[in-house]
């Protein structure tokens, strides 16, 4: 059986709302982010016939773990089923973490229009290192055949690109939604929009 991965990004955080670089630093989900997490869980419930058959992995950062807990709540799964996976942590943005994107664009105007500008940050995790840990994770034969993954925006974009064998241009054209997630199966990436969550 080929592996199926549902790849989710965490819900909106306070830093997301403030347009700040987050990386390895963290901030909690906003009210909108909580609603997005519930919406992903509700939509995912329609996708998987038996949630208990799926392994839930999440980046160890708080925003991803919080999102995973809310998704599991919608799926009727205990929080104890979530396993932290360090290889899914967001890219480290070095000295740019916590800085507002607009201020960085003003300070470094030469980066405007550069698709991979994130990796110009001093002490940033190198792109090649990010790709290496993603490839290592995807090639891990110990991973089960059914995976629900809660990770991050940039990490998820690169993961999808590596998985689908995209060119650099194609990779950087991908978006990083918090109101949709992706099914990775047989080398194909399918976008799944989330229904509005309602109590």
Dump pLDDT digits (tens) for 171-192. Answer: 999 999 999 999 999 999 999 9
Is the Cα dihedral 164, 9, 45, 3 positive or negative? positive
**Confidence band, pLDDT 50/70/90 cuts, at residue 196:** low
pLDDT for the residue 195: 75
> pTM for the full model?
0.95
- In the chain the domains, ranked by start, together with CATH numbers, are 4-193 (3.40.50.1240)
Q: In this structure, what DSSP letter does residue 119 have?
A: G
Tokens 């993961």 map to which residue? 159
Instruction: Give residue-wise pLDDT tens across range 152-178.
Output: 999 999 999 999 999 999 999 999 999
Residue 151 pLDDT greater than 60, yes or no = yes
Categorize the per-residue pLDDT at 21 as very low, low, confident or very high, splitting at 50, 70 and 90. very high
Kindly tell me the sign of the dihedral angle through the C-alpha atoms of 28, 30, 35, 39.
negative
Query: Can you tell me the distance from the alpha carbon of 184 to that of 190, in angstroms, rounded to the nearest whole number?
Result: 7
Detail the DSSP E strand segments found in 72-185: 82-84, 146-151, 180-185
Percentage of the chain modeled with pLDDT above 70 = 97
pLDDT at 199: 43
Task: Report pLDDT for 198.
Answer: 46
């Amino acid at each position: 059986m080929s592996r199926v991965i549902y790849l989710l990004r965490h819900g909106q955080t306070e830093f997301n709302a403030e347009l700040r670089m987050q990386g390895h630093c963290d901030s909690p989900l906003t009210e909108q982010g909580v609603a997005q997490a519930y919406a992903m869980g509700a939509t995912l419930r329609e996708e998987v016939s038996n949630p208990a058959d799926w392994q839930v992995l999440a980046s160890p950062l708080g925003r991803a773990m919080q999102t995973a807990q809310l998704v599991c709540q919608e799926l009727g799964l205990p929080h104890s089923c979530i396993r932290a996976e360090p290889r899914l942590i967001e890219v480290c943005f070095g000295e740019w973490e916590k800085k507002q994107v607009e201020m960085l664009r003003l300070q470094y105007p030469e980066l405007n229009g550069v698709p991979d500008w994130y990796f110009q940050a001093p002490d940033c995790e190198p792109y090649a290192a990010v790709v290496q840990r993603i490839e290592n994770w995807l090639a891990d034969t110990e991973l089960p055949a059914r995976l629900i993954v809660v990770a991050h925006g940039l990490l998820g974009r690169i993961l999808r690109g590596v998985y689908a064998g995209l060119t650099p241009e194609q990779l950087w054209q991908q978006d990083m939604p918090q109101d949709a997630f992706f099914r990775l199966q047989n080398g194909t990436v399918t976008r799944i929009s989330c229904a509005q969550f309602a109590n």
